[in-house]
Chains A and B, each alone.
Chain A
Amino acid sequence: MILIGERINAGFKDIANAIRTKDPTAVEKWAVAQAEAGATYLDVNIGAASRDPADMAWLVEATQNVVPTPISVDSTKIEAVEAGLEALDGRACLINSTTADPEKLERLVPLAVKHDASLLGLAMDERGSPQNVDRRVENAAMVFMAAIEGGLTPDRLLLDPILMPIKFMQEQAVNVLEAIAQFTHLSDPPPHISVGLSNIGNKVAERGRVIRAFLVMAMAHGLDAAICDVCDEETIAAVATAELVMNKEIYSDSYVRAFRIKAGAKV
């Protein structure tokens, strides 16, 4: 399971403040905490806090200064993505994200190739968020085709079916599950499939339960990556347990611990 730590995001006040004041303390704290929790990538996102690509470069540097973990450069603005990639010290990285828009694909696929990056593609296009399974699959196929034609291999591609808050769009969760199952047929071996996991729990009172139940169900449908709260031990335990049930890991009494060791977590 590819675990992408969500916490270095200017949607959180401490990170927004860090960017504004250029005080890296909070960034460093979350970089270390998420790395020690076993994150595969650390997502780095300046969000709406800044329009300046230089801030993305600063945030990437603040993160990579304290941990060796690969970085997910997260922005809807291509200029910010470029600035983040340029700031990287040569470690493995992920571009988060492109959509199925041809204009975006034309620029971001070559950028991923140039920087040896993986690429996360959202199953949405200029028409907005998909409301059914077919639109998700159509968009994902667009991203997949462009990525493969552009020189990426399926193992460097992560497709995201767009997870929505269950409180406001309850019918979409099953559509996402079905879309995940269909994404797995795009190639053999399939591309990775990822969701922004916290979305489903937006404004939900029983947030943790909804997130973990969906996560396990999605894994059973083929999900193998998630942008999530990697510091939440119950979420990690749910992933470890799901991998166990799916016979992806050898059982041992301490299987959660074994999962954390494998993920490179501090144990």
Chain B
Amino acid sequence: MTAIPDAKKNWPHPINSVTIGATAADGGTRTSTLTVGGETTLPFYHFEGTMPNPPAVAMEVWDVPGDDWPETVKAPFAEVMGDPGAWAKACVDEHGAQAICLRLKGCDPNGENRSPEEAAAAAKTVAASVGVPLIVWGCGNDEKDNEVFPVVAEALAGENCLLGTITEDNYKTLTALGTAYGHKLIAESPVDINMAKQVNILALDVGYPAENLLIYPSTGALGYGIEYVYSIMERLRIAGLKGDKVVAMPMLCDIGIEVWSVKEAKAPESEVPGWGDVAVRGPMWEAATATTYLLAGADLLIMRHPEAVRLTRRTIEKLMGGGA
């Protein structure tokens, strides 16, 4: 009888570990920090290597009410939307958010066009309300983000936040701010593995350390290009483990914003008979999307619905070998 060949691989290079948040001991005011990455193997291949830091779930809070959020995901936050501090506190205290992602939607020139100072005030309010690490995501308008982030990054100086995003076309402002005020950065690319690599190199070229970056390869909801993103994340992770240092970063997925814009998560049963209760279906769609990305190598998920967060954290616990 021939022995079963040992298929275990010994990857030469671990994925970088990135810690966000700074406690008083490190010059911040957070009561907890969060470390992601550090894997020496593919996702959950515990037989082959180690995942020293379980994937984590951050919850999304806006500086303005989430008017375009579907009812299902708005309902749990009905009392707190419009008050970023209370919203963040509910996410942490009631729903177990391990970090808060403040999205500065109110700064969008096509929306309320709020000022950098208003954005900084919202950020400080959130920082004062919760002790978990903070992620601050711009409104997506490069020009406006480049005005807003200098004020926000300074307001949160020393808190070791995660700021995003830098892209191939817009990386100089945030890399400079990240260096000046001690923040980590999210490197974004549009479902394009070559650009994912390139934006990291550009950040390195201006002196921003690779060890402080997370890769955001874009996110697609289940049914909306998820397989493209999945394969890109897999390739990035394999290349990183093989020693390609410019892609050996933890990966982030922006789950909530994608899932809660698709029909499958938000159309009421009256419109799509046979699809089941949207109040159940929506969170399930978000959790299923999140689980898929966990298997692709996601280290940090940004999510919205409390039930989806609960399910996803339970999944992570099980995949890490805990629970029953």
Chain A interface (Cβ < 8 Å from any Cβ of B): 249-254, 257-258, 261-262, 267
Contacts and interface: CB of A to CB of B under 8 A. Distances in A.
A238 to B, nearest CB: 19
9 contacts: A250-B193, A252-B194, A252-B195, A252-B197, A252-B246, A253-B198, A254-B205, A261-B245, A262-B246
B244 interface: yes
A261 B201 contact: yes
- Number of chain B interface residues as a range: 10 to 19
A261 B246 contact: yes
Q: Is the interface of B mostly helix, strand, loop or mixed?
A: helix
A251 B235 CA distance: 12
Interface of B: 193-195, 197-198, 201-202, 204-205, 235-236, 239, 243-247
A252 B235 CA distance: 14
A50 to B, nearest CB: 36
A190 B19 CA distance: 39
Contact of B198 (A249, A254, A261, A262): A254
A232 to B, nearest CB: 22
Contacts of B243: 262
Contact of B245 (A250, A251, A253, A262): A262
Residue with the greatest number of chain B CB neighbours at <10 A, chosen from A252, A253, A254, A267: A252
Contacts of A261: 201, 204, 245-246
A81 B236 CA distance: 41
B259 to A, nearest CB: 28
Contacts of A262: 243-246
Contacts of B246: 252, 258, 261-262
A261 B202 CA distance: 12
Contacts of A250: 193-194, 197, 235-236, 239, 244, 247
A155 to B, nearest CB: 10
Nearest to A249: B244
Nearest to A253: B198
Given A249-B244, A258-B197, A261-B204, 10 more contacts: A249-B239, A250-B193, A250-B247, A251-B197, A252-B201, A254-B198, A254-B201, A257-B201, A257-B205, A267-B204
A157 B201 CA distance: 33
B15 to A, nearest CB: 15
Contacts of A254: 198, 201-202, 205
A250 B235 CA distance: 8
A258 B201 contact: yes
Contacts of A258: 197, 201, 244, 246
Contacts of B202: 254
A240 to B, nearest CB: 12
Contacts of A267: 204
Nearest to A264: B245
Contacts of B245: 261-262
Contacts of B195: 252
Contacts of B239: 249-250
Q: Which of A250, A253, A254 has the most CB of B within 10 A?
A: A250
Nearest to B201: A254
B52 to A, nearest CB: 23
A146 B245 CA distance: 36
Q: Which 7 A-B pairs have the closest CB atoms?
A: A252-B197, A252-B198, A254-B201, A251-B194, A258-B246, A252-B194, A253-B198
